[in-house]
Amino acid sequence: MTQQICREFERPDEDEDDGDQPRFERVMNLMQAMQMLGAPPQDISGAAEMMPGQLPGPDQCKMS
């Protein structure tokens, strides 16, 4: 699916009046379909404890 999204961005500019879906809509549909599949397996994405920008959980907060 990632390859399909890349191909959409690599396609030459096209006339959007040809009756086809605009590129933005095609890319958004592919991205939404990919999101519905869920997170990738840990063996692909790596076993990071916390991703950049992720907030810590309540068990990780320390109050002094």
- Mean pLDDT over residues 12-39, rounded? 81
Would residue 22 be called left, alpha or beta, if left means φ above 0 and alpha means ψ between -120 and 50 degrees? Answer: beta
- Pair of tokens at residue 61: 């907060």
Calpha distance 64→2 (Å, rounded): 45
pLDDT band with cut points at 50, 70 and 90 for residue 50: low
- The structural domains of the chain, with segments of one domain joined by +, span 1-10+21-40
Residue pair 2/34 in contact by the 8 Å Cβ criterion: yes
Calpha distance 26→5 (Å, rounded): 8
pLDDT at residue 52 tops 80:
no
State pLDDT tens for residues 2-25.
899 999 888 887 655 556 678 889
